Amino acid sequence: MGSLRSKVGLIPNRLTALGAVVLTGFVTAANFRAAFYSAPYYWRPVFYLPMLPRWAQLLINAAFYGYLLWLWVVFFVMAKGKERIWVAGWGPGLLLNPIKGVASSPVVTTIRQFQAFSLAVAFLAAVSIFLDIAARDNRPPETRDLE
């Protein structure tokens, strides 16, 4: 049972792989649109609470982005093989947003393009994982036990 546990990562079956492909494809398309066809960027914090002072809002948003960074590292450690490429592709898309709030316009454009291309790599990794799982599930039963 221990060997089976070591082979299972974040995407264990075909349905999960399809969900990863669809979600990553949607977010990738939205990021490409934002990077190349969008209006100027205005950064807004995730948690904007006008009743709180600015320092409290900054503290809440910093804690949230710290949690996202911790969660991304945990998922990267849990991932196996091509799943690590998928998780690594999601990293810049999620973790570079706070930098856009303090950067100049050309830097923001570069960050948006980098985020879009990193998510495109994640999308290709998700498609590859889906195709590998589909090919594995369609093999004859006698060859499945050889892994």
17-39 pLDDT tens trace: 999 999 999 999 999 998 888 67
For 83-137, the pLDDT digits (tens) are 999 999 999 988 888 888 888 888 888 999 999 999 999 999 999 999 998 887 7
Secondary structure of the chain as H, E, C letters: CHHHHHHCCCCCCHHHHHHHHHHHHHHHHHHHHHHHCCCCCCCCCCCCCCCCCHHHHHHHHHHHHHHHHHHHHHHHHHCCCHHHHHHHHHHHHHHCHHHHCCCCHHHHHHHHHHHHHHHHHHHHHHHHHHHHHHHHHCCCHHHHCCC
On the question of pLDDT at 57 being above 80, the answer is yes
Q: What pLDDT score was predicted for residue 108? A: 87
